[in-house]
Every structure is written in C-alpha cells, then in structure tokens.
Amino acid sequence: MNRHMVKWLMVIAFFIFPLSGYAHSGNSAVPVFGPNLRVGILTNQHSLEVSADAKFAIVSTGTAKVLGDFAAQEPVTIAVRESGFTVNGRPVEATGLAVVMNKAHSTVYSEQYLYANKRRYRGDLSIQRTIGKPGMTVINTLPVEQYLYGVIKNEISPEWPMEAVKAQAVAARTYALANSNKHTADGFELCATTDCQVYGGRESEAPKAIKAVDATRGLVLTYKGKLISAYFHSSSGGYTENSENVWSAKQPYLRGVADFDQNSPYYTWEEKLTLAELDQAISKAGYNIGYLQAVELSPLSSPPVASFDRGVSGRVKSVYFKGTTGNIQLTGTQLRNMLNLKSTLFDITISKEHPQPAMSVYASKDRKKSHTQLAAGKPTDFVVITGFGWGHGLGLSQWGAKAMAEKAPPGNTEYFKDILKHYYQDVEIKKAY
C-alpha cells in the first residue's frame, strides 16, 4: 500500500466515521452541533456537477474504492446509467458515490466546502440512485445546527429583531428533529423544499441567522417530554387556529391565540372573480354542480368564533355550494387550494357591481361583519373573497413574532421564550444536546 493510498484511506475513514460536529469534552464526545441529518438536496437528477475547495476524490460508498482523484475547484460531471454511474463520462460500478474532500483542517469551522451544481455545502455529499425513479439523489449529511444555518433565511428575514429570529430557529430545530423519519423511504431524513423546510446550503446562510442559531443551540420545544409538531406560518390574520380545525390531529399545544400581526402586509387581502370563473374552477376541480346558485357560509365575526362551519379564529372549516344540478360541501383547505387563496380565514360576498378595491373597504383593518347570503346572479357578477393572514394559521405566526420582538424589553435575550410560549401553549423549552 503506497503513501497515496494510505492518505485516502484515512480520508475515507473520516467520511465513514465522521467526527464533524463533535468536540471532545473530557472522556465523552459531546455533539456540539447536534446529531447528523441526511438532507436530500436534489432528487431524480440525470446529471450533476460536483467540486470542492480542496483536493477531492470520488469514492464508492459500498466498497470505499477511490474512483478518481481531482484538484481543488475541478468540475466533475456525474451521471447515472443503467447500472452504476459515469464520472466525467467514464463508467464506474458502484451502488453509491461520495465526494470526499481532503480538508486542510478537519474541523467544522473550516471554510472549505463541497459543491453540488455550483452551490456550496457544509458537511458531506453522497450520491445514490433515486428510489423508484431513474435519476440520482444527492444527500448532504451535516450536523443539525449547520443545517439550520442554511434554513433560517428561507423561512424568516434575519434582519428582523433577533428575538423573533431566535424563536424561528427553535421552531425550525424542533421541526427538523421531530421529522427526521419523514423521508426514510427515499433514503434520507429531510428534503430541502417547502415539503420539509427550505434548505439552500452555504448560499442561503446569513450572519444574523447563524447568530440566532448559535444563541439557541440545542434548544427545542417539548410537550410532556416529547418534541412537538412546531408548525409555523407567515401571518395568522389576527388569531391562530386549533390544530384539529386545519388538517392535523388535536394537539393540546396548538390552540388558537390572539396574534399581533396587524402590520403584516398579508393581514388583509382580497380576491375577486366572476361567478363564471368560480363555476369554471369548481368544474375544473372535478365537481359537477352546474351553475352556482348559492353559497352557504356563516359570516365572519371577531374571535373566538363559535360557528359550526368555522374554527376558533374564524377559519373556514366547511362551505356549501348549491348548483343547478348538484351541491357540494368543501373544506376551507379544499377551497383554499382550488382558488389559490392565502389562507382559509375569509368571507365570501357576491356583488352585482364592480367591487371597490380592498384597501378602501378594509382600511381600518377591523373585521367587518358581512352578509351570510348569497344568492348568485348573472355570470358577470363578482364573487369577492375577503381574507386575513397567510398560511395555515397553526403555531408560531412570524409577523406576530416580529411584532412581539419589537416590543421586547431592551436587552432581554431570553424573550424568544416568551414568544414561543405564546404561540405554543404549555410547552417546555429544553436543551436536546
């Protein structure tokens, strides 16, 4: 075995038994950056370009065999073929590949990165065949804390008050740890899209997001000792909702509470469509009710709301459409998806005339009682949907958290806990590691 091979074997051993994220404290290894997460950053890719900031190798993950050595910054094209892969067009037999960098400093603080399609990533990169599809899946393995560095900016502005960004960091960390089995069938733990949390690697980090993650390192939300489903959304429209009224099971910590998002740009919104367009949307969604004759929905009132067809915040649980050839009952979420609405917190009115712009009607930002009504008329009549908030309305409201943080006592660096305990009822904030 020559010296060259010994060196790479050491690098491979480092890859197989990664020390990244661990610092030695006494005799036991303490995971400073938390446990490793396997994030599926790309799926079903036919071809991929990888590189690294230092000399690197492409290694077979099954046999640990080095399939090619490359210089720093050298672009390498990997593609799938019927069996195995190609590396710069040359066929290689392997069940999976790893991009292994010969780092100058083998610590997590190193500013040397791996690249996938020209984006930089911390941690390790590996490539496997996409399960059930013809392409490749690229997996970025890295400690939870470093994963969060690349998540926060996609979920909230790091320029918002620090206590709000810290509250978001704790919610995102809890979400990541509680959902680490979500993509087991795909061969990784979390995906990098809105399906889980949007993760963009080093390119989507920001100094203030890193500061918020570091300031809350290891902190998670628990209820009766278990990680909670830490749902969050942009803006509730004045009041958050009980979980069972949206789409998930009843959770004692996901209760509707007053929100402080009145300065959110999404606090009120309006969608207008003609009756003919609504008829078309209903039929396109597969419901055959002919021409719409009436809409049954109780009028929106101030929360807490106690209507049978609305949740505690006023979010629509069900709405009834009567047509010339049939009737349908839709959930608020079904109607939201059908018409691409920002939330399920809305009123519906039908107007014979061209409606006034939303902001002149709702300039006071107060909820106004509207008509129950709604006998439909001509196809050219307008259906006006007046809504509040953006998102499902469960758990933390980001615009509300921002407003709370703006009013936090100056210098109180624990205020993010007050924010979290407002939006998640009766939870504990604990250090997971």
Residues lying near Zn ion in the complex (CB under 5 A) are found at: 191, 195-196
Tell me the closest approach of the beta carbon of residue 185 to Zn ion, in angstroms. 11
The whole-angstrom separation of Cα 245 and Cα 257 is 14
Residue 35: name the closest of 151, 178, 153 by CA.
Answer: 178
Dihedral sign of CA atoms 287, 292, 294, 295 in order: positive
Residue 127 or 191: the one with the smaller Cβ distance to Zn ion is 191
Tell me the closest approach of the beta carbon of residue 219 to Zn ion, in angstroms. 23
Tell me the closest approach of the beta carbon of residue 1 to Zn ion, in angstroms. 42
Q: Which residues contact 371 (CB under 8 A, 6 or more apart)?
A: 299, 349
Residue 163 or 186: the one with the smaller Cβ distance to Zn ion is 186
Under DSSP, is residue 292 helix (H, G, I), strand (E, B) or coil? strand
Residue 126: name the closest of 198, 210, 3, 18 by CA.
Answer: 18
CB 234 within 8 Å of CB 264:
yes
Tell me the closest approach of the beta carbon of residue 173 to Zn ion, in angstroms. 16
Q: Where are the alpha helices (DSSP H) in 288-356?
A: 332-339
Residue 195 or 244: the one with the smaller Cβ distance to Zn ion is 195
Tell me the closest approach of the beta carbon of residue 182 to Zn ion, in angstroms. 6
Under DSSP, is residue 15 helix (H, G, I), strand (E, B) or coil? helix
Q: Which residues contact 325 (CB under 8 A, 6 or more apart)?
A: 288, 289, 290
Residue 125 or 196: the one with the smaller Cβ distance to Zn ion is 196
Q: What is the DSSP string of 109-160?
A: T----EEETTEEESSEEEEEEPTTSSSEEEEEEEEHHHHHHTTHHHHS-TTS
Tell me the closest approach of the beta carbon of residue 183 to Zn ion, in angstroms. 6
Tell me the closest approach of the beta carbon of residue 188 to Zn ion, in angstroms. 9
Residue 191 or 300: the one with the smaller Cβ distance to Zn ion is 191
The whole-angstrom separation of Cα 183 and Cα 190 is 6
Residue 117 or 184: the one with the smaller Cβ distance to Zn ion is 184
Residue 192 or 316: the one with the smaller Cβ distance to Zn ion is 192
